[in-house]
Amino acid sequence: MAAPIAPSKLQALQETITTFLLDPRNHDLLTILKGLRNGLVYGTKVRFPHALVMVLLFRTGTLRSKATQILTATRTHATNLGLFVTLYKTTMLALRHLSPTGKERSADSFVAGALGGYVVFGRGGSGNSVNMQIVVYVFARVVLALAKLAVSDGPLWYPEAVQASMRSSMVYLYDNAETWTGIRDFLIHNK
């Protein structure tokens, strides 16, 4: 059995990790990793209760087969959301580095979203019921936002056109992946 780590060594390790996390040179890579983390966590938080209710109410089979269905749907949702956020953040970073100004351009988020959407949800994955539900949810929210913008009297800031639940998921997945103050809000809990 391994000996426990001495408190002073544990504190030194924690300080080393915190220094690495807060070093601006590591920010871009760590944003991608935190985006993956946020996608995995959010996908689990959203899908598990939904799958639990839907499977227990509407599926037949043994308790074991129902548990497997719940865990499979949760894993699929979390993995695909984590992969999408990772591809999106990586593509945005690459496009920013390819830009002559070194800054994001207006079409970059569209390109990153289209690429991530195609890779994660488009190539044969659309037959998967979890993916289909995600695509329908996002599509419906985007169409509703576009309709709001089309009938708006004056200038409407475009994030405000998106339904509140969709907007809060976007903040969790993408914006919260940009900031942290240490190990706790990088790995364990956002803000």
pLDDT band with cut points at 50, 70 and 90 for residue 1? low
- Tell me which amino acid residue 169 is: S
Burial of 17 by CB count in 10 Å (0-12 exposed, 13-18 middle, 19+ buried)? middle
pLDDT category at 4 given cuts 50, 70, 90 is: confident
Other CB atoms within a 10 A radius of the CB of residue 51 amount to 22
Q: Contact at 8 Å (CB) between 13 and 174? A: no
Q: What are phi and psi of 105, to 5 degrees?
A: -105, 165
Give the C-alpha separation, 27 to 96, whole Å.
14
Which of the residue ranges 2-6, 20-24, 83-87, 179-183 would you say has the lowest mean pLDDT? Answer: 2-6
- Alpha carbon separation from 141 to 134, 148, 159 (Å, rounded): 11, 11, 11
pLDDT of residue 9: 87
- Band of the pLDDT at 160, cuts 50, 70, 90? confident
- CA separation for the pair 141, 164 (Å, rounded): 10
In this prediction, residue 150 carries a pLDDT of: 87
Confidence (pLDDT) at 129: 86
What's the confidence (pLDDT) of residue 174?
94
What are the DSSP calls for 136-149, one per residue? HHHHHHHHHHHHHH
Burial 111-149 (b: 16+ CB within 10 A, else e): ebbebbbeebbeeebeebebbeebbeeeeebeeebeeee
Say what the pTM is.
0.88
Side-chain-side CA neighbours of 32 within 13 Å: the count stands at 13
- pLDDT, tens only, 40-69: 999 999 999 999 999 999 999 999 999 999
Average pLDDT, the chain: 91
Q: Domain map of the chain by residue range?
A: 27-188
Contact, 121 vs 135, CB < 8 A?
yes
Question: Residue 124 pLDDT more than 70?
Answer: no
pLDDT at 7 > cutoff 80: no
173's enclosing H/E stretch is none
